[in-house]
Amino acid sequence: MDAATIARLLGPAEAIDVLAEVLRAGLDPEEGPARTSVRVPAGELLLMPAAFGPYAGVKIAGVAPGNAAAGLPRITGSYLLLDGTNLRPLALLDGAALTELRTPAVSALAVRHLTPADKPLRLVLFGTGPQAYGHLEAVLAVRRVAEAVVVGRNLIGARALAGYARTLGVLARTGTPDDVAKADLVVCCTTARKPLFDGSLVAPGATVVAVGSHEPDAREVDSVLVARSEVYVEARSAALREAGDLLVPTAEGAIEEDHVVGGIADLVTGRRTPTTGRPRFFKSVGMAWEDLAVAGALYTAALAAP
C-alpha cells in the first residue's frame, strides 16, 4: 500500500477509533518491546516489532536529517504486516505514510480525553511539516477549533499551513511562541532539540502535546511546564527510556520519575480522569503497537474495498 492508498482507505477519525478499540480490547502498551535504534551514516534506523490479536508486524524506519536539503522526506521506511497465527506476510505498507497517520491519531486520542468537548479550542501548532498537517486534521476530527495559530521557523511554511487550515474552515494565522499564553491546546511536532516556548505562560487547564522527539537529550517543552503539569504518556516504560521532555527535567531535579500520572490506556479505559487547575501534558515517542493497530485496520479496509 502506497501513501495514496493509505490516505484513501483510512482517515484520521477512523485511525483514532482503531487505537481506542485495541486499548479497550486489552492491549497493554507497557508490554511493548523496546525500539531498536542503529546509528548509520545517513542518520538512524529504527526497528519496531509488535504482535496483538490477529496480526503481527514490524516497521523499519529511517530518520535522515539531511534529506530535507535534498527535497526528500526526513522519515522513510516500510511496514510488513504478518498473519498473527502463522507469521505469513500479508501486506507491505509505506512506513512514512503509516507514521504520518498513526502519530497524529495517538495525539488526537489523548486530546479527546484531556480537553473539554463543550467549547471550540484555541490551538497553537508548532511545526510546518507533514506531522503538523496531520495533527491539524486529527485534532479537527475530535474537537472544534476556534482559531489555529501556526508557529514555525519557516515563515513561508507557516503561512502555507495556516492557509490550509482556512480551507478546512478554521480561522488561522501565523504567530509567535508567546501565543501559547492564550491557547487551550498546544501541539508540538517539530525537530527542535530545545524548548520551543516559555512553559510558565501556559494557562492552567490548557493541554500541551509533544511528539517531535524520541531521543533522551532532545525536547520541545521546558522543565517549568513539565513540573507544573499533570503528565500522561503512551507507556511509562517507553517514556522513561526515550522522552527527553521528561528525562531532562528529571536529570535537572525538577521532577521525579513518578511525576507521570498515567498512560493513554488509563485515559481510554477510564482508569484515570484528568484533574483541573493544572496544565495537562501528553508526551509521545511513537510505539510499535500503534503502527500494528493502524496497519491491521488498513489491511481490513483494503480487503473490503471494491
Across the chain, mean pLDDT equals: 96
CA distances (Å), 142 to each of 11, 34, 119, 293, in order? 12, 30, 12, 19
Q: Which pLDDT does position 289 carry in this prediction?
A: 97
pLDDT in tens, 217-250: 999 999 999 999 999 999 999 999 999 999 999 9
More confident residue, 74 or 265: 265
**Predicted confidence (pLDDT) at residue 275 exceeds the cutoff of 90:** no
Q: Which pLDDT does position 133 carry in this prediction?
A: 97
More confident residue, 33 or 140: 140
pLDDT in tens, 49-72: 999 999 999 999 998 989 988 989
**Predicted confidence (pLDDT) at residue 75 exceeds the cutoff of 90:** no
DSSP, collapsed to helix, strand or coil, labels residue 279 as coil
The torsion angle over the Cα atoms of residues 165, 12, 272 and 260, rounded to 10 degrees, is -70
Give the sheet arrangement for strand 89-94, strand by strand: 36-40, 43-52, 55-63, 75-83, 89-94
The model's pTM: 0.95
Give CA–CA dist 302/306, Å, rounded. Answer: 8
* 196 sits in which H/E element: none
How many residues are listed for the chain in this entry? 306
Query: Which position has the grid cell 501513501?
Result: 3
Identify the band that residue 257 occupies on the pLDDT scale cut at 50, 70 and 90.
confident
CA distances (Å), 236 to each of 74, 110, 194, 266, in order? 27, 15, 22, 11
Percentage with pLDDT > 70 across the chain: 100
Which residues face 112 on adjacent strands? none
Q: Which pLDDT does position 74 carry in this prediction?
A: 86
Amino acid occupying residue 141: A
Which cell is 161 given?
499551513
pLDDT in tens, 103-153: 999 999 999 999 999 999 999 999 999 999 999 999 999 999 999 999 999
Percentage with pLDDT > 90 across the chain: 93
